Amino acid sequence: MLLFVGLGNPGPKHAGNRHNIGFMAVQAIARRRELSPWRRRFQGVAVEGNIASERILLLLPGTYMNESGRAVGEAANFYKLDAGSIVVFHDEVDLQPAKVRVKIGGGVAGHNGLRSITAHIGNEYKRVRIGIGKPDVKELVPMHVLGDFAKNEWAWVEALCDVIADNAALLVDGKDSSFQNKVHLAMEAKGFADEADDEPLGSK
């Protein structure tokens, strides 16, 4: 069994925040696989289903971002999952908007949701880093992250979440580089490629 975790803050006030793109990606996976209903579990909401012949629990913590590890830790303990069986989808200010990178372990780069998860289950879980970009002025980063996506951003946000959902089976199979490349090529085909991105697609 694997645990797919989307990071975000609960409630309609935060639904459109850039910080909530992890929620959006995991919700898109559930829609694509027609998984329902979401039920209150593990201090959040969760739904189970099969992807690529593997049983998956999709979890949206309801603990607010800074305490995400409480929900993840409870689910991991219940199913006796180690960190290697957990995939966390989260916003990443150090990636250009609409870019996706996958890595295992590493630092938390100031992301309080990741910091909380690492405190509860260790560091060697998989992260699907979803780029939201950042302003040039460092002091504006919190406002950027907690602000809603602009109207002209929603086209790529929705397209990217759909593409992530289309290719989720590759993550289940451990084909992380293939997942990155499929997402990149699909977004390029949809007209959302960014030539400024020079990070190798196969990087971890």
- Could you tell me which residues are beta bridge partners of residue 48? 57
Per the DSSP assignment, residues forming a β-bridge with 103 are 127
19 a catalytic residue: yes
Kindly name the residue from 19, 90, 111, 184 that is annotated as catalytic. Answer: 19
| 8-state DSSP, 198 | -
Question: How far, in Å, CA of 204 to CA of 197, rounded?
Answer: 15
DSSP 199: S
First vs last C-alpha separation in the chain: 23
Give the residue among 169, 202, 8 at the shortest CA–CA distance from 89. 8
Report how far residue 56's alpha carbon sits from residue 47's, in angstroms, rounded to the nearest whole number: 8
Which amino acids are annotated catalytic?
Answer: 19
